[in-house]
Structure 1
Amino acid sequence: MEFQGETFAALYQRACERKGGEQALEAMLGKPKSADELRTVGDDRFLAEFSKKIFQSGFVWRVVEQKWPAFEECFFGFDIDKVLLMPDEMLERKAANPEIIRNFNKVKTIRDNALMIDAVRKQHGSFGNFVADWPGEDIIGLWEYLKKHGARLGGNTGPYALRFIGKDTFLLSQDVESYLRAHKLIDGGLTSKRNLAIIQNYFNQLAKQSGRSLQELSRIIAFGVGDNNLIS
């Protein structure tokens, strides 16, 4: 696929100008976990992060953070084996607990996504191994896997959970989307198969030019345009 859009050098220069110089920009980029580090992340932590992002979707993130210790206690620290043993009746009781956010449809996703993680760990040893081995050149494929096999992990929910757990991924934040549309890299639906392929190709080309992670590239693009939303 032919390269389109600005070069990394142009993106980086503009982000530096907007963020007060190279040193200031670099301090804001962060680094994803390495593959070895991802392998050490417990299956329970993947389930916890998926669940947190599901509850934060369409809700005030700060409130979810405040209530999260109660979620951890209520769902046995998101231990996969214990969650899988929870019958529907127990899930209903948990969903009525005023210490957490009482949304039964979202509570049900905890067991559903535990089932996904359990299936993966039986094949790959752990969900961390599975995520660590997934190539960044096809990160949209991992997004699609979570959407297809998980519960409520489509849209930005799955990608945001991956970012917070440490997997290298770009994010289609408002700033990144604005950039892609302004430079006519995409049109129509943001997450159409055609547009996702174009976006993945653009990030892959930038990564080859720069040697940077997808996370860094995503933030560099965002910091060079728009309102600079916190998560990009």
Structure 2
Amino acid sequence: MAFVEQFEVIYHRAAERKGGNAALEALLSKPRTAAQLKQLSDAECLSEFSKKIFQSGFVWSVVEKKWPEFEQLFFGFEPAKILLMSDEMLAAKATDPRIIRNATKVFAIRDNALMISEAAEKHGSFGQFLAQWPDTDTIGLWAYLKQHGNRLGGNVGAYGLRFLGKDTFILSQDVEAYLRSSGLVDGGLTSQKNLKAIQQQFNLWREQSGRSLQEISKVISMSVGDNHVGMAT
């Protein structure tokens, strides 16, 4: 049987671990507003998703350092230009020593350019597509990215959304640990049953607190494990 705490209780514990309310608040950030999401260019969206794909299973700081070369090599991640690239061109790019050479991930850039272009055609831009997607159906957006994109399943797509500013929770190790210890999930974390239960609980915490999913997710992660004063999360 699940026993999930009120958000206020979780927040209080996280604040104690981080040295008080003010210290905890300093570690939190808010997502972009719908108006701000609409201002995102399709190139920005493709660049961020591509970066998260290359950072998956790799040292994030190394990818970040190389990203200007990625931007140059892939025409600023303009989807229309990426879609004109042939298999031969992509294969050649994948061998360039200026970037992280991974052909599978390079080819995913073109697949995701198509996803972004198709959504932009229907909604005006991918940013506008993100802006209209309800925050109460985060798992639906994750599923969309996995189905229509390439290598955007799991936390890769979720982190891409987070860095673009779309409100989302992240199923990090600490968040997963809390959800399991509370009995909310059992078995595979990403089963449809568990994902629906997680979404419903985050929606409830959102109603209780008036906070974004992003803030709630971060607070939960800092309320468990080894997250204490002076420790990174």
Q: TM-score, normalised by structure 1?
A: 0.96
Deviations 1:92-119 (A, max 9, x none): 1100100001111100000000000111
Q: What are the equivalent positions in structure 2 for 1:68-217 lying under 5 Å apart? A: 68-217=67-216
- 2:220 is matched with 221
Distance (whole Å) between structure 1 residues aligned to residue 23 and residue 188 of structure 2: 34
How far the C-alpha of 1:72 sits from its partner, in A, is 0.3
Aligned position for 1:44: 43
Distance between the aligned counterparts of 1:69 and 1:78, measured in 2? 11
**Whole-Å Cα distance in 2 between the matches of residues 183 and 61 of structure 1?**
31
For residues 130-165 of structure 1, the C-alpha deviation after alignment (integer angstroms, 9 at most, x for no partner) is 001111100110000000000000010000000011
Please list every run of at least 4 consecutive aligned residues from structure 1 whose deviation after the TM superposition is greater than 3 angstroms.
227-231
The Cα shift of 1:57 comes to: 0.6
Deviation of 1:230 (Å): 5.9
The letter for the 2-side match of 1:116 is M
2:62 maps to which residue?
63
Instruction: Please list the CA deviations of residues 162-183 of structure 1 after superposition, one character each: whole Å capped at 9, or x if unmatched.
Output: 0011000000000000000111
- Partner of 1:146, secondary structure, is helix
Equivalent residue pairs, number:
230
Conservation of the 8 A alpha-carbon contact between 2:17 and 2:222: yes
Match of 1:19 in 2: 18
Task: Encode CA deviations 1:5-36: one digit per residue, 9 max, x unaligned.
Answer: 10011011101100100000011110100000
Contact 2:3 2:183 in 1 (8 A): no
Structure 1 residue 80 displacement after superposition: 1.0
After TM superposition, give the deviation of residue 200 of structure 1 in Å: 0.4
Deviations 1:202-225 (A, max 9, x none): 100000011000001001111110
Cα shift readout 1:14-73 (whole Å, capped 9, x = no counterpart) = 011001000000111101000000000100011001100000111111111111110000
CA contact (8 A) 1:4 1:202 kept: no
Identity of aligned residues (%): 62
DSSP-derived class of the 1:37 partner: helix
Q: CA deviation at 1:227?
A: 3.3
C-alpha displacement at 1:4, in angstroms? 5.0
Q: Aligned partners of 1:86 and 1:230: how far apart in 2?
A: 41
2:195 partner amino acid:
L
Residues 32 and 165, structure 2, Cα contact 8 Å, conserved in 1: yes
Could you tell me which amino acid in structure 2 is paired with residue 197 of structure 1? K
Structure 1 stretches lacking a partner, 5+ long:
none
Secondary structure of 1:25's match? helix
Q: Does the 8 A contact of 2:186 with 2:194 survive in 1? A: yes
Aligned equivalent of 2:29: 30
Aligned-pair Cα RMSD in Å: 1.4
